[in-house]
Amino acid sequence: MGKNKNFKGPQRETNVSTKVNADKMKSKINKGGVFVYTKALSTAELAETLNIPVSDIIKFLFMQGKMITINTILDDELIGTVCLQFGFDFQKKHIVEAENFEEVEINDDPSKLKERPPVVTIMGHVDHGKTTLIDAIRNSNLVAGEVGGISQEIGAYQKEINGKKITFIDTPGHEAFTAMRSRGASVTDIVVLVVAADDGVMPQTIEAIDHAKAAGVPVIVAINKMDKPGADPDRVKTELMSHDIIAEEYGGSNICVEISAKKKNNIEGLLEAIILVSEMQELKANPDRYALGTVLEAKLDKNEGPKATLLVQNGTLKSGDFLVVGTSYGKARRMTNEHNKVLKEATPSTPVVVIGLSEVPEAGDRFMAFSDESEAREIANKRRLIKENKTRNATSAASLDDLFNLAKEGNIQRLNIIVKADSTGSAEAVKASLEKLSTDDIKINVIRATSGAITQSDVLLASASHAIIYGFNVRPDALTRAKAAEEKVEIRLHRIIYALIEEIQAAMKGMLAPTMVEKITGQAEIRKLFKVSKIGTIAGCMVTDGVIKNNSLIRLMREGVVIYEGKLGSLQREKDSVKEVKAGFECGLTIEGYNDEKEGDIIEGYEIVEEK
Ligand code: GDP
């Protein structure tokens, strides 16, 4: 989103300056001169710089069949056309937007690209053998003459098979993967999904699949524990099919490799599969530029100061380069690899431990290397200012408003959505209707569609994938809502499919009207029920969150699913009718027109208010 596709970045050979000289842009140039520009300009700005009447430009373009105004932002083609017409040469200069290097998309000259090793993360359900597999790979001695074990200190390392390298990131579990992605860092090219052959697909298996899908990363299945008597690889493959992981032998694109991590059986087969998949991906990078990459982990070493494991993702990091990491800078004073060997340089996909940073960065921070210390310092300072500003004006990461604003700028390509519904059938229906909304410009990407309440795991996935969560007849509990607020994840709740569709369509068109939204006032849990003739069921409740008001709208929920919506009939504390009851107090209440409450049901009070 909003990426500058023309970013060139500092190249070692050309030594492009990263300094932006805004003043140069403003000075007028003479006819016959070269008009050097750096970004799209409005008609008025172009007219001023070229020193020609703006009406001449508008008239000329009108004759060319282009309707523009003085405020129209002209693209490169229009700028070029105008320059030629009015007797200027023109040249677009690419400015390195060094202070926001996370945002840029490297667009190297294809002739400079060289193959790079794939970066692999191992995921899977607990106890299915991730750690055992990681150890088996770490300790495997595939290359003759490879000396020494791998230092435990580095959470990433490379292995070589048939002359090709593979980079493994070692932090098992999904949190590392999710945490990185939620910070915008995508480091993994391939996910190896470990599934125990005697246990099959389990909740965290599905979670891992969701994460891989959301990241758009291919999945290789390692069917583990094949040495066990109960091993049933076919069952695993069948179960995976309902999660869109289709084995090659079943006509799909996912390679499944049967292994035993414990007995170290067929580890080579798995590595060969990784090479195969990486070759299909054609992973490439430009080793001739200054390095760009991501911090995998970092700590403060008592003797050596900040010590970080960096993954070089593009370019080459050389010992002595200056690094901007997060909002600090430093020098790559010493670099070592997983065998504690000192390296002079690290090429793309190489993990290295670096000493010499001024602060301990965070895992997931991006870094960029520079040749010049003052430049690195200046950029780090700028980034600090930007960060402080951002924290001050923190807004949600992914929200319909964002979609709306980005759509207005014509700037969005993809909207990730998580659907939670009251049944699998309606989840599928909502998913299908949403995916149909995809256009050439905006792809609607449903990364999870399941039945059940909205949970914290949904919020984490949403946060990692910048997704919006849509609840269809289901709700989050108070804890999940708090988590969503903390992670700045937007949860939208709907009861009617077409209302949901309309909302997204409107946002996609950049026409989101101010809407009426629901504000939850509080929740109460039903602890005891009393049947009273004439009155009906009185629910003895504990208000667990916020406040329950006698005139508010309510919904009754059972295990996160909405059972009934309506109004309260009465609200009492002890024997008295009251207007409201706050969290921490008990109350008795009836629901108008409904008597089938159960103990443990949740009553949620809400109001409809106009969104600002
Ligand atoms: P993790 O939670 O996914 O990291 O799983 P572990 O690697 O800790 O493995 C869980 C248990 O399964 C341990 O007792 C391992 O020894 C065992 N295990 C792992 N791989 C295999 C295997 O290939 N065969 C057998 N029989 N046991 C295995």
Question: What digits encode the pLDDT tens for the residues 579-602?
Answer: 999 999 999 999 988 889 999 999
Q: Is 204 in the pocket of ligand 1 (CB under 6 A)?
A: no
Burial class (CB in 10 A: 0-12, 13-18, 19+), 151: middle
Kindly tell me if the per-residue pLDDT of 144 is higher than 70: no
What string of H, E and C letters represents the secondary structure of 134-148?
HHHHHHCCCCCCCCC
Q: For the chain, give the percent of residues with pLDDT over 90.
A: 34
Gap between the Cα atoms of 129 and 151, Å rounded: 21
Q: Please tell me the predicted confidence (pLDDT) of residue 7.
A: 45
* Neighbouring-strand partners of residue 418: 448, 469
- Is residue 15 scored above 50 in pLDDT? no
Instruction: Give the predicted TM-score (pTM) of the model.
Output: 0.57
- Cβ of 267 closer than 6 Å to ligand 1, yes or no, is no
Beta strands in 425-480 (DSSP E): 443-451, 467-472
CB 235 within 8 A of CB 201: no
Confirm or reject: Cβ of 135 under 6 Å from ligand 1: no
Where is average pLDDT lowest: 135-139, 463-467, 580-584? 463-467
Atom of ligand 1 nearest to the CA of 134: 7
For residue 472, give the 3-state DSSP assignment: strand
Q: Which residue's CA lies nearest to atom 19 of ligand 1?
A: 129
Predicted confidence band at 23 (pLDDT cuts at 50, 70, 90)? very low
Whether residue 261 has its Cβ less than 6 Å from ligand 1: yes
> Is the shortest distance between the CB of 132 and ligand 1 below 6 Å?
yes
Q: Is the pLDDT of residue 271 over 70?
A: yes
User: What is the pLDDT at residue 440?
Assistant: 72
Cα 394 to chain center, whole Å? Answer: 17
What is the reported pLDDT for 70? 82
CA of residue 130 to ligand 1 center, whole Å: 7
The lowest-confidence range among 5-9, 237-241, 256-260, 418-422 is 5-9
- Please classify residue 594 by burial: count the beta carbons closer than 10 Å to its beta carbon, then call 0-12 exposed, 13-18 middle and 19+ buried: middle
Residue 360 confidence (pLDDT): 84
What does the pLDDT read at residue 423? 80
Cβ 254 under 6 angstroms from ligand 1: no
Residue having the nearest C-alpha atom to atom 6 of ligand 1: 129
Ligand 1 contacts CB of residue 129 (under 6 A): yes
Residues 178, 180, 181: CA angle, nearest 5 degrees: 65
Kindly give the number of the ligand 1 atom that is closest to the alpha carbon of 260: 23
Chain segment 146-167, per-residue pLDDT in tens: 455 666 666 788 998 889 999 9
Confidence of residue 34 (pLDDT cuts 50, 70, 90): confident
**Where are any strands of DSSP class E within 559-601?**
561-573, 576-577, 580-582, 586-591
When pLDDT is cut at 50, 70 and 90, the band that residue 36 belongs to is confident
Whole-number Å distance, alpha carbon 81 to ligand 1 midpoint, is: 66
pLDDT at 418 over 70: yes
| pLDDT surpasses 50 at 511 | no
**Strand 156-161 versus strand 516-532 pairing type:** unpaired
- For atom 10 of ligand 1, the residue with the nearest CA is 127
279-314 residue pLDDT tens:
999 999 999 888 999 988 888 888 888 889 999 999
CB 207 within 8 A of CB 450: no
| pLDDT tens-digit readout, 355-406 | 998 888 887 888 999 888 888 888 887 777 766 655 543 333 345 666 556 5
- Cα of 132 vs centre of ligand 1, distance in Å, is 6
Any atom of ligand 1 within 6 Å of the Cβ of 172: yes
Ligand 1 atom nearest the C-alpha of 124 is 3
Q: How confident is the model at residue 335 (pLDDT cuts 50, 70, 90)?
A: very high
Distance CA 52, CA 44 (A): 10
420: CA distance to ligand 1 center in Å?
33
pLDDT at 327 over 50: yes
Q: Cα dist. 428→171, 418, 459, 472, 534 in Å?
A: 33, 11, 20, 11, 43
Distance 297 CA to ligand 1 centre (A): 25
pLDDT higher than 90, residue 255: yes
Query: Which atom of ligand 1 is nearest the CA belonging to 132?
Result: 7
Q: Is the dihedral of CA 49, 50, 56, 58 positive or negative?
A: negative
Rounded CA separation 150/168 (Å): 12
> 231: which 2 tokens?
């091993």
Q: How far is the CA of 25 from the centre of ligand 1 (A)?
A: 63
Q: Does residue 198 line the site of ligand 1, with CB under 6 A?
A: no
Residue 126 in contact with ligand 1 by CB distance below 6 A: yes
Ligand 1 pocket mutation pick from 122, 123, 132 by most atoms within 8 angstroms of CB: 132
Does the beta carbon of 122 lie inside 6 Å of ligand 1?
A: no
If 0-12 CB within 10 Å is exposed, 13-18 middle and 19+ buried, where does residue 321 land?
A: buried
Q: What rounded mean pLDDT belongs to the chain?
A: 81
In angstroms, what is the span from residue 121 Cα to ligand 1's centroid? Answer: 17
Mean pLDDT, residues 192-220: 91
pLDDT of 39 > 90? The answer is no
Q: What is the pLDDT of residue 228?
A: 96
Judged against a pLDDT cut of 90, whether residue 245 lies above it is answered with: yes
Q: Using an 8 Å Cβ cutoff, are 242 and 424 in contact?
A: no
Please indicate whether residue 430 or residue 540 has the higher confidence score (pLDDT): 540
Q: How far is the CA of 129 from the centre of ligand 1 (A)?
A: 4
Q: Residue 176: which pLDDT band, with cuts at 50, 70 and 90?
A: low
Mean pLDDT of 501-517: 67
Q: What is the mean pLDDT of residues 235-248?
A: 95
Least confident of 31-35, 200-204, 465-469, 502-506: 31-35
- Residue 100: pLDDT band by 50, 70, 90 thresholds? low
How high is the pLDDT of residue 177? Answer: 66
More confident: 43 or 65:
43
| Burial of residue 456, with CB atoms counted within 10 A of its CB: 0-12 exposed, 13-18 middle, 19 or more buried | middle
For residue 126, which atom of ligand 1 is closest to its CA? 2
Comparing 98-102, 239-243, 523-527, 545-549, which segment has the lowest mean pLDDT?
98-102
Q: How many whole angstroms from 207 Cα to the centroid of ligand 1?
A: 19
* 99 against 438, higher pLDDT: 438
pLDDT surpasses 50 at 31:
yes
Position 409 scores a pLDDT of 54
Q: Could you tell me the pLDDT band of residue 182, with boundaries at 50, 70 and 90?
A: low
3-state secondary structure of 514: coil
Question: What percent of the chain stands above pLDDT 70?
Answer: 80
Question: If we measure between CA atoms, which residue out of 554, 533, 560 comes closest to residue 541?
Answer: 554
Which atom of ligand 1 is nearest to 224's Cα? 23
How confident is the model over 555-579, as a mean pLDDT?
A: 89
